[in-house]
Each structure stands twice: as C-alpha cells, then as structure tokens.
Structure 1
Amino acid sequence: MSLQPLPPRPPPSQPLSLPASLAPHRAVLERSLVPCIYFDKVEGPQGPRGCRYGGLPFLPPGTPWPRSPEGPLHFLGQLDFAELAGCRGAMLPELPTEGLLAFFYDVENQPWGTEPPHRTFCKLIYVPPGAELVPLSPPEELMQAERPVLPIRQLHPTVGLSLPGWSDINAPVDPDFWSEEQGEDIIELRRQLMGTDTADRGADQLRGHPNWWQEDGRIDAQLASNGLDAYASESTPEAERLRPGAKGWNLLWQVGTDEAMGFVWGSYGTIYLLIRDEDLLARRFERAWLILQCS
C-alpha cells in the first residue's frame, strides 16, 4: 500500500500566517515557537544508515539484544544523526552531528512510563561514528511473537516549527483566556505546522514541543525517574518538591500510532521519549525516559 503525501509545512523562515482572531497575539505565539524536525514515512529498504522505523537494528558486533524483565524488546527504529545534520543546518545544535541511535521498546506490554520500574522496558543504544555495524537478528524468544520484526518505513526529515498545546507547561497563554474561535484557530495552526491532515496530535517528530494527549508528560517523567509512582504520589510533599524539575525534561523523539506498522500505542496514542538537556549534550541517551499517552 503506497503512502499518501501530507500537506506541505511552512518553512521556519516564513512568518506565521495567522487568522484574524489570533493576530493580536502574534508576539506571544511567535515567542513560543521552537524548531523541530518532522518525519514523513515512506516505503523503502533497510540499511545501516538513514532514519527509519522497523526492520533489523544495525549495531556493533557482539551487541546483546536488549531485554526487559518480561523478555526481549522490539526494535522500533533508528536515528541517523549525520543524515539529520545535513537537514537541520544550524538549527538544533544540541543534537549529535554523527552516530546512530537505536530504539527498543516492549510493544506487547507497553508500560506507560509512570512508575520507576518502567525504565527497564525501553532501551536506547547510541552508536558513535566509526563503529562497525552489522544487522542484529532477533533472539528466538522474540521470533515467537506475532510481529518479531516490524515493517520498514524510511523517515524523511524536514525542519519545521512547533507550538505548545494547551496542557504543555510552556503554553503561551492560559487556555481559559481564549475564545472558542481562538481555540479552534490554534488547533488549526498547530495542524498546519505539523503538516498533518487529520488531527493536531501524534506527528512523528524530533525535538520541539511535544503534542500531548493528556497533561504534560514531563511531570510524570520527573516523578517516575526519581523513584515515585507518578499517579499514586502526585499529591505528596515529595512530588511537590520534585515537580519544578519537570521543566528540565524536553522532547527527544515522538512516535505516533501507525496501525499498518503495528505501532498502536494504547488507544491509538503516542510515545514520547524525553531527555534532560544536559544528558543530551553529554550523549547520555540511556537516561532518557519514555512516556506513553492516549485519549
């Protein structure tokens, strides 16, 4: 089945085209814009280079297949930072300019990331430039799964802009101050920036503002990564002490639902890989935290 092209996204250098209802708020909206990379999925072969979902991981010889306490994880995809560097120019300078990042996750159990033990159900492996790369075959245990190897989709990157949603801790204006018309126009503006033709959530994206289905998931990541159950402990004094640190987490990689690929997150939701800026700069990808949200 061929993939349908999406509407073109406005380039980052182009001023926002705002409807009349939002024109008085241009300054605050433009201050809230941050660059990101959007991915369009296209059919193509797997290989050691290039950004993609599915297929086999290409890793240094002898790399063990990542596991959780429940068994082997699925390989979801990889980022090729050299390819991304050629796309982004001077934008997003915090990203590596070389190397690969392989992403593994438990697609059977799909932990939400709201509890400390959920850390073990997601694994990121950063491969520095110059490493020898070979395809890593899934272990026999994983081959018994319904889909041991996920379908391949090449990820074509495009630099764009992102705007925070209502529940984001960086939202430019309290949503209670918007009229119904302004609220609808904001959703349409975010849809245009993401280049999606159906909804305002779930774009496949690198960096920028996440597109939350629920409340800002950075709070859950901050609590769970510090040893608290994000739901059971949300009103405790310890949670209140930790909560301000949520602003230190930012989006690394956002993966939307794609039923044809077997990417169905909860009830057609989205996966968010979050990372602290200092960990990204130090290439400590193992400290990233996964949050899953859906409607």
Structure 2
Amino acid sequence: MVAWLAFLAVVAAIYGIALIGYSRAQRQDTVETPEVAARTANFRRRMTRATAPALMLVEAETPGFSKFGGAPDWRLGSPWPQGPDGRLGFLLQLDLAAAHAAGGPDWLPSTGGLYFFRDDRWGLADQVLVLHQPLETLETAVPPADLPAKWRHPERYIGFRRRMSRPSLEWLGGDIREVDADAFDREDLAKGDGPSHQVCGYPAEIQETCMPLECEYAKRKLPYDHGPATPAITKAARSWRLLAQIDSDAALKMNWGDGGMIYVLVREVDARAGDFSRTVTITQTY
C-alpha cells in the first residue's frame, strides 16, 4: 500500500509540473503573437483616452457637511428610509457643491446632498439606496431605536482629494488571457494599505468582472452569466459610471464580506437629471 501511494504521489507531481509548463508555454505563445500585441496596444490606448477624475474620500481637517456614519443631516421632517427588510443603515452623506469645487465630474449635480443607506442583503443590486436632497432647512436625524447596532457607524467628516484614474482591462470588457498581462500596470487601480473610499472615476476592482456590463444585466434582471452580450447591451453598458466606492474600514466599523468593497454605479443620464433611484450596487470580496 505504501509503495502504491508513493507511486501515485510521483505521478501527481509529474502531472502538476506538466500543467504548470503548459500554462506558462501557452501564455508565452499568446504574448508573442502579433494579434495579442495589437489587442494589448488597443486596450492601452483606450485606457489612456478614458482617463477621468476621481475624488478620494479622506478625513477632513475641519467638519463640514460631508461625512461617514453618525446620523444624516437632511431636510426637516424627512422619514428614515426603509428597505425590503425594514429600516436601512446610514453610510455617508456628500456635499455635491464641495465635490464640484474639488474637481469632480460634470455629470454629477452641482448642488444638493447625496445620502447613502444600505442593508445586509449582500450581493443584491438594490442593497444600497441613494437619496438626493437640497441642502436647506436641515436637521440632524435621530436613528431609530430598533436600528441594529452593526448598522451604526462612527462619525468621520470627509474631505475630497482629486486624482486622475483610468479604467481597468475588466472595466473595458477585456480578457486578461487575450492580452499581454505584463503590459498592464495596476498600481493606480489596486487597493492600497489603507481603506480606499472614492467618488467617481474608476473602481479598484477585487474580482475580474466587467462592472458596466454587470450593471446593465442587473437593470434588465438578467444574471451576469447570461451569455455573450448583444451589441445593444454592450452599447447600453457604456453609460454606467462609478458613483461611490466604499471600502471596508475598521475605524468606521465597516467590513464588507472578507475585507471587500461596495460599489454603487449610476447611469450618466440619470445622474445628470438628479435621479439616483435606479443605481446598481455591486459587492466584491476576497
């Protein structure tokens, strides 16, 4: 029996080495073909052309309207938002005028506040609710007594720090297996050592999915693995924009899955109209 097990171990080791060698050879052959070189160059050009401003949400030096956690400051008499399973937890609020002053995109409304609420229905497209209200006659809301403690987050005031961002290969609908992977530098996309909260720009994806396409499928109530996208779906997917990226953050008592992220996306035409009732939430974790 021992001899037989030893024989199987040797066979498994040889087979594993063969698989590794095949994978490396396949990638090397792919990288060297003119077709792959052309696809790689095309995606790099598209990334450069699509460069867009992003606003990193950093801790503010002085308190203002924009903040994580605590309780929302909103229009007098506003009811606490409800979801399919009851009251929602408050995530953050943003001053859109301040976002514009910091160099935010022109497709966001220039006035008013955005409020983000969520529940625990992980992975559902409507997990996060976004409200847009004018910033007038404000009051600080009192969280409902029955709101779960895990949905209450410490208060942190937010400042905006502008940077330029570019889309990932996944955002553009590319397949890493069909290009020279070494040609794509993801340092400006990857999650750093600290929490990476962001408004607009392009997300730091954890999983290799095409978010715009995923949003368009969700809007049409189709699964992401529905099959190859039709030209009409592919065209419609180009209208989706990252509205907010909310990272796991221990100081804010936010942990999405296993240190993952929440991404909220909106169609540009809806954002320009001040309509945030049809956002799509994507959740990713490690």
Common topology (TM > 0.5): yes
| Equivalent in 182, 186, 197 of residue 204 of structure 1 | 197
Whole-angstrom distance in 2 between the partners of 1:26 and 1:251: 20
The match for 1:263 is 254
Whole-angstrom distance in 1 between the partners of 2:211 and 2:123: 10
Indicate if the aligned counterparts of 1:50 and 1:83 stay in contact, CA closer than 8 A: no
Whole-angstrom distance in 1 between the partners of 2:219 and 2:51: 28
Whole-angstrom distance in 2 between the partners of 1:128 and 1:267: 36
Indicate if the aligned counterparts of 1:223 and 1:242 stay in contact, CA closer than 8 A: no
Listed as ranges, the gaps of 5+ residues in structure 1 are 1-21
Whole-angstrom distance in 1 between the partners of 2:214 and 2:44: 31
> 1:16-68: per-residue Cα shift (whole Å, max 9, x none)?
xxxxxx99x986553232112112235876xxx43211010011122111111
1:36 correspondence with 2:35: no
> 1:129-164: per-residue Cα shift (whole Å, max 9, x none)?
4x211111111221xx23352111222111111122
Indicate if the aligned counterparts of 1:44 and 1:152 stay in contact, CA closer than 8 A: no
Q: CA deviation at 1:189?
A: 4.3
Q: CA deviation at 1:247?
A: 1.8
Percent of residue pairs bearing the same amino acid type: 27
Q: What TM-score comes out, normalization by structure 1 length?
A: 0.73
Listed as ranges, the gaps of 5+ residues in structure 2 are 1-39
Q: What TM-score comes out, normalization by structure 2 length?
A: 0.75
Indicate if the aligned counterparts of 1:110 and 1:266 stay in contact, CA closer than 8 A: no
1:134 correspondence with 2:139: yes
Distance 1:148 1:39, change over 3 A: closer
Indicate if the aligned counterparts of 1:164 and 1:170 stay in contact, CA closer than 8 A: no
The match for 1:243 is 233
Give the RMSD, CA atoms, in angstroms.
3.0
Matched AA of 1:137: V
The match for 1:288 is 279
Indicate if the aligned counterparts of 1:80 and 1:100 stay in contact, CA closer than 8 A: yes
| Equivalent in 99, 116, 128 of residue 84 of structure 1 | 99
Distance 1:203 1:216, change over 3 A: farther
Partner secondary structure for residue 97 of structure 1 = coil
Distance 1:35 1:170, change over 3 A: farther
The match for 1:149 is 152
Whole-angstrom distance in 2 between the partners of 1:112 and 1:141: 24
| Equivalent in 201, 216, 221 of residue 222 of structure 1 | 216
Partner secondary structure for residue 167 of structure 1 = coil
Whole-angstrom distance in 1 between the partners of 2:144 and 2:158: 26
The match for 1:12 is none
Kindly tell me the number of residue pairs found equivalent between the two proteins: 245
Partner secondary structure for residue 65 of structure 2 = coil
Whole-angstrom distance in 2 between the partners of 1:176 and 1:246: 21
Partner secondary structure for residue 286 of structure 1 = coil
Indicate if the aligned counterparts of 1:52 and 1:79 stay in contact, CA closer than 8 A: yes
Q: CA deviation at 1:174?
A: 5.7
> 1:173-230: per-residue Cα shift (whole Å, max 9, x none)?
96643253x34xx023445xxxx6438xx72111111222220222222122223344
Q: CA deviation at 1:259?
A: 2.3
Distance 1:290 1:149, change over 3 A: same
The match for 2:76 is 61
Whole-angstrom distance in 2 between the partners of 1:58 and 1:264: 24
Whole-angstrom distance in 1 between the partners of 2:76 and 2:98: 23
Whole-angstrom distance in 1 between the partners of 2:193 and 2:48: 24
The match for 2:129 is 123
Partner secondary structure for residue 156 of structure 1 = strand
Matched AA of 2:193: T
Whole-angstrom distance in 2 between the partners of 1:216 and 1:29: 14
The match for 1:158 is 161
Distance 1:250 1:136, change over 3 A: same
